[in-house]
Amino acid sequence: MNFGGIRALDSLDLDIHPGEIVALIGPNGAGKTTFFNCLTGIYTPSAGEIRLRNPETGKETRLNGMKPNKITEKGMARTFQNIRLFANMSVLENVMIGRHCRTHSLILGAIFRNPATRKEEREIVDSSYQILKKVNLHKQVNEQAKNLPYGAQRRLEIARALATEPFLLLLDEPAAGMNPQETEALVKLIRLICREGHSILLIEHDMKLVMSLSDRIFVMDYGKKIAQGSPEEVRSNPAVIKAYLGEDVDA
């Protein structure tokens, strides 16, 4: 992936198995978010392959160059580093938007409000409410999204992504700006989501969270993968230490 003359993403191969929590870490500017944007179709990668296999049907699709909404339909949903909620819509409506790609009614359904549409609408409201319950926001359903505290906004983003029924959830710095209690709740939430059968790929700078949560960790720097493995392996990897702390200079 190039931006003008800059190669933001050079070589990175990364695989996620069903039911896994995988973390992608690296110093600022390493290309982690660019990688996410390539995966979710916001950028089209200039080279490389992105493949997604649906664990239920076993069907494999190539995602390169697909529109973001199609990719979400295929079962990959994301959250954003700088929160991108629909600020002036209510909490519930934010999640209901997530249901959009799993529902079908259109103009005529909206105008005539036939039984099928009514049923679908009820299903949207119900399932959205259930998801909000999961992230513990069900008491604020009618609140405007912008009025929520920061931690709750992050949880709402996760809820919105969950509403699209993904089997792979991409979390871009979900714990950024959270206090220790909120982070604690987030860890619990991510574990719960994983137990329910979603695979998770997360970018995160909070090492404590990354080490305690992930099954495997990938480390990248300057658009390249520099290490991968279990938390223990990564922690003791000299290349990782070099990337984060700089090189040892002999005095």
Q: Are 22 and 214 in contact, with CB atoms under 8 Å apart?
A: yes
**Is there binding between residue 183 and other proteins (CB under 8 A)?**
no
Question: Binder to other proteins among 85, 158, 186, 226 (CB under 8 A)?
Answer: 85
Structure tokens at 75: 């079962």
**Is there binding between residue 135 and other proteins (CB under 8 A)?**
no
**Is there binding between residue 237 and other proteins (CB under 8 A)?**
no
Q: What is the dihedral of CA 188, 33, 26, 31, to 10 degrees?
A: 170
Let me know how long the chain is. Answer: 251
Max CA separation in the chain (angstroms): 79
Q: At its nearest, how many Å lie between other proteins and the CB of residue 35?
A: 15
Question: Binder to other proteins among 120, 134, 136, 176 (CB under 8 A)?
Answer: 120
Task: Compare residues 97 and 176 and give the one whose CB is closer to other proteins.
Answer: 97
Q: At its nearest, how many Å lie between other proteins and the CB of residue 94?
A: 8
Q: Which of the residues 191 through 230 are near other proteins (CB under 8 A)?
A: none
Site string for other proteins, 58-77 (x = CB under 8 A): ---------xxx--xx---x
Place of tokens 């099928």: 116
Question: Binder to other proteins among 96, 189, 202, 234 (CB under 8 A)?
Answer: 96
Listed in order, strand segments (DSSP E) in the chain are: 2-3, 6-7, 21-25, 51-53, 60-62, 76-78, 168-172, 199-203, 216-221, 224-229
**Is there binding between residue 134 and other proteins (CB under 8 A)?**
no
Rounded CA gap, 60 and 54, in Å? Answer: 6
Q: At its nearest, how many Å lie between other proteins and the CB of residue 68?
A: 4
Q: Render the burial of 169-181: b for 16+ CB within 10 Å, e for the rest.
A: bbbbbbbbebeee
Q: Which of the residues 19 through 58 are near other proteins (CB under 8 A)?
A: 40-42
Rounded CA gap, 99 and 8, in Å? Answer: 33
- The footprint of other proteins (CB under 8 A) covers 40-42, 67-69, 72-73, 77-78, 80, 84-90, 92-93, 96-98, 100-103, 105-107, 109-111, 113, 117, 120-122, 124-126, 129-130, 138, 141-142, 144, 147, 160-161, 163-164
